[in-house]
Amino acid sequence: DSLIYKYSRKSEVEFTIIGTITQIGNSRANLDDVHGEGNAFKSANRNILNILAKLEDSFTSRLENECIIDPIAIYREL
């Protein structure tokens, strides 16, 4: 968020980001098939989280050419 706030969506300066790509494209992990051990509360909680994730995806899903980076460092030449 701080990078977008400082440099906007379209940067006017060239910078380098070192980080880990955490999400890419519009593919999503399918958590419907995950059946972990646990009680009914854990199962209900997992179902609610899956429903909320699908709801969020309908409004803010990524495009095929977008990726999410968890930045470690960012720098630019002076």
How far apart CA 45 and CA 41 sit, in angstroms, is 6
pLDDT at position 19, please? Answer: 92
> Hey, where are the domains in the chain?
2-75
List of E strands, the chain: 16-24, 67-75
Would you write out the chain's pLDDT as a tens digit for each of its 78 residues? 666 666 666 777 788 889 998 888 776 666 555 555 668 888 888 888 888 878 877 777 777 777 788 889 988 887
How far apart CA 45 and CA 17 sit, in angstroms, is 36
Global confidence as pTM:
0.45
pLDDT at position 47, please? Answer: 85
Read off the DSSP letter of residue 24: E
pLDDT at position 70, please? Answer: 86
